[in-house]
Structure 1
Amino acid sequence: MFNALRPRVSSIIETNNSPETIMQKICDLLKSEVPHYDWVGFYFKNGDKQELNLGPYAGAPTDHTTIPFGKGICGQVAESNENFVVPDVKAQDNYIACSITVKAEIVVPLFVNGENIGQIDIDSNTPDPFTQEDERFLEFVNEEVAKIL
């Protein structure tokens, strides 16, 4: 599945659309094509502030449009600069619930010129669905997105 999606992500990147439109199309593609991706979105560092702001996303609306560094999975990735895979969100003390249906989450940082400027965040209503294959694919997605930022 991910091997088939890679060229589709690359072709979206190569369009002459705005970065926001490109990222929205990627969110829509991943949510529609990956069965265990129930919410797909990008968060970005808010200038010099120690917080993330929600960018393009696909899925149910969320109240979490601003996330302080260190809070929740996204806020922790903003500080650690490392992927964070959560097989069971109920087992996480520092978790911000977006929906009662969410069972698992994966967050992968997005680097531009070596700086963590944001991340892709995936929520899943399926318990423990994420593998190393998901991590490698989302790293690829972020590398592609970094080319347009």
Structure 2
Amino acid sequence: MFEQLQAKIPSILKAENRTTEEKLQTLCEYLKEKIHYYDWVGFYFRNGEKEELKLGPYAGAPTDHTIIPFGKGICGQVALTNANFVVPDVAAQDNYIACSISVKSEIVVPLFVNGKNIGQIDIDSETPDPFSEADERFLEFVNREVARIL
């Protein structure tokens, strides 16, 4: 499944006459539509020099979590650790920020530009424990492609 999706991503990100934000928005919508257990797909980016993340383009239900301090929640932890974070059961996480009571699991993969963590892709799922190593590799690929346009 992921191989077919990977083939389409460069063309989404190279679309002529579209802003970077529009390209990322299209990418979020594409991933949410094509992967049945990706119920919310979004990007968070470092907010200037502040020790916080700011919500970027996303597809899914609106969220109140537009600013996340480093260290808070799964996204905030990834901002500090520079490592993927897969949460099979959000209810078992002490430092989880609930965006919706229907979310059961989450995966966050950092986004690097020139070796620097500048943000992340965040996926929420209403399915318990759906994420595999294949999701991690796929989202790392997505972020490498996104890094090319940033």
TM range (shorter): over 0.9
Partner of 1:6: 6
CA distance in 1, matches of 2:131, 2:35: 11
The match for 2:69 is 68
Give me the CA root mean square deviation: 0.5
Give the secondary-structure state (helix, strand or coil) at the position aligned to 1:40.
Answer: strand
Structure 1 residue 53, shift from structure 2 partner: 0.2
Unaligned runs of 5+ in 2: none
With normalisation by structure 1, the TM-score equals 0.99
Deviation of 1:83 (Å): 0.2
Runs of 4+ aligned residues of structure 1 deviating over 6 Å after TM superposition are none
Structure 1 residues without counterparts, runs of 5 or longer = none
What secondary structure is seen at the aligned counterpart in 1 of 2:37?
coil
Task: After TM superposition, list the pairs within 5 Å mapping 1:109-128 onto structure 2.
Answer: 109-128=110-129
- Shift, 1:142, TM fit: 0.3
- Separation (CA, whole Å) in 1 of partners of 2:141 and 2:22: 18
SS of alignment partner, residue 121 of structure 1: strand
**Paired letter, 2:25:** Q
Find out whether 1:93 has 2:94 as its counterpart: yes
Give the 5 Å matches for 1:98-109: 98-109=99-110
CA displacement 1:38-73 (0-9 Å, x = unmatched): 000000000110000000000000000000000000
Distance apart, 1:87 and its partner CA: 0.2
- Identity value in percent: 70
Q: How many residues align?
A: 149
